[in-house]
């Protein structure tokens, strides 16, 4: 190969390298800044194909999609000085590429570390303003909204980050107070159970007393009705006896004596000690 051909080949390779390094692409899911010898000359490069000066300009690209920061479970105090273990997370994305690069050198680890400190401070401030009930259930949505707003302002001002949302995954009591809390809850439930049992016994006694009163009233009423019916029956029986007696008094006396004999001598073991001349045996003596 001649010197001219070798020179042309080298020039062609260098030109290809220069041309290759003169173009760069920014995707729709990315944010980018253009640097010239390390200084920002274009703070927010639009998505698409762009040109730059090789070895003079450089491009730093950042992921512009929504990212998640999982904070470390931290201990916070409520307004009543009660400790809570809070596990939270934040959703964020790059909003100001120039400020993000200046503050973090484009490194997500640095952004997560600084945002995590800001998130912990915001949570500590909001939990310290509320009681345990308000922080856990009463004002939880309001607490999250205020944390998101304050964290977004600080992160945008310092890091060029937009905080989209902050959520609490779990709120627990510290291990050292779990036992005492559970014991207090257990004793409170036992007290409520005793109160309910006492109320139930009181109601049961009232119901039982009312049932006994109604029973006595019903028995008395039934006894009155039975006595009236028995009196009416006795009166009717007496009337029938009287009518029968009036029709034939001798036959009626004879019939009643036969019934008395039957009932008196119904068993072989029956014994009567009577005077043979007693009126009880009048019809037996007159059998002839």
The rounded mean pLDDT for the chain is 81
User: What local confidence, expressed as pLDDT, does residue 221 receive?
Assistant: 92
User: Residue 45: pLDDT above 60?
Assistant: yes
User: What local confidence, expressed as pLDDT, does residue 43 receive?
Assistant: 83
User: Residue 16: pLDDT above 60?
Assistant: no
Decide: 170 and 99 in contact? Cβ < 8 Å. Answer: no
Angle at 46 between CA 40 and CA 52, to 5 degrees: 55
Q: What burial class does residue 263 get, using C-beta atoms within 10 Å of its C-beta: 0-12 exposed, 13-18 middle, 19+ buried?
A: exposed
- Strand duo 39-42 + 57-63: pairing: unpaired
| Confidence bin at 278 (pLDDT 50/70/90) | low
- Strand duo 74-77 + 83-94: pairing: antiparallel
User: Residue 210: pLDDT above 70?
Assistant: yes
Please tell me the class of the 67-172 domain: alpha beta
What gap in Å lies between CA 50 and CA 31, rounded to an integer? Answer: 13
Token digits of residue 135: 């922080």
Nearest to 148 by CA among 63, 62, 69, 65: 69
Tell me the pLDDT tens digit for each residue of 139-184: 788 888 888 999 999 999 888 889 999 988 888 877 766 666 677 7
Question: Which region holds residue 126: left if phi is over 0, alpha if psi is between -120 and 50, else beta?
Answer: alpha
Give Cβ neighbours of residue 198 (< 8 Å, ≥ 6 apart): none
Nearest to 159 by CA among 225, 115, 214, 203: 115
Token digits of residue 23: 């173009």
What gap in Å lies between CA 64 and CA 92, rounded to an integer? Answer: 9
Out of 14-18, 134-138, 212-216, least confident range: 14-18
Q: Give per-residue burial for 216-246: e unless 16+ CB within 10 Å, then b.
A: eeeeeeeeeeeeeeeeeeeeeeeeeeeeeee
Domain boundaries, the chain: 3-63, 67-172, 192-247, 248-285
User: Residue 266: pLDDT above 90?
Assistant: no
What gap in Å lies between CA 120 and CA 245, rounded to an integer? Answer: 114
Decide: 66 and 163 in contact? Cβ < 8 Å. Answer: no
User: Residue 91: pLDDT above 90?
Assistant: yes
Sign of CA pseudo-dihedral 267, 269, 274, 276:
positive
User: What local confidence, expressed as pLDDT, does residue 163 receive?
Assistant: 92
């Amino acid at each position: 190969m001649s010197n001219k051909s070798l020179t042309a080949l080298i020039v062609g390779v260098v030109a290809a390298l220069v041309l290759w390094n003169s173009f760069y692409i920014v995707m729709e899911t990315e944010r980018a800044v253009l640097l010239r010898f390390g200084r920002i000359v274009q703070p927010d490069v639009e998505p698409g194909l762009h040109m730059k000066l090789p070895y003079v300009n450089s491009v730093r690209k950042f992921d512009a999609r929504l990212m998640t920061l999982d904070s470390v479970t931290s201990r916070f105090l409520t307004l009543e000085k009660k400790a809570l273990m809070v596990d939270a997370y934040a959703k964020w994305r790059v909003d100001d590429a120039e400020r993000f690069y200046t503050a973090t050198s484009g490194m997500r680890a640095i952004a997560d570390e600084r945002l995590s400190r800001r998130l912990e401070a915001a949570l500590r401030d909001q939990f310290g303003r509320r009681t345990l009930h308000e922080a856990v259930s009463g004002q939880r949505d309001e607490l999250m909204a205020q944390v998101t707003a304050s964290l977004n302002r600080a992160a945008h001002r310092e890091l060029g980050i937009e905080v989209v949302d902050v959520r609490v995954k779990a709120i627990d009591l510290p291990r050292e107070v779990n036992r005492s809390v559970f014991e207090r809850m257990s004793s409170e439930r036992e007290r409520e159970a005793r109160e309910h049992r006492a109320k139930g016994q009181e109601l049961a006694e009232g119901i039982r007393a009312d049932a006994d009163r109604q029973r006595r009233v019903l028995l008395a009423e039934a006894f009155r009705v039975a006595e009236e019916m028995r009196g009416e029956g006795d009166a009717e029986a007496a009337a029938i006896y009287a009518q029968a007696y009036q029709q034939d008094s001798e036959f009626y006396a004879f019939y009643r004596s036969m019934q008395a004999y039957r009932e008196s001598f119904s068993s072989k073991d029956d014994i009567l000690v009577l005077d043979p001349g007693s009126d009880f045996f009048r019809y037996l003596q007159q059998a002839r």
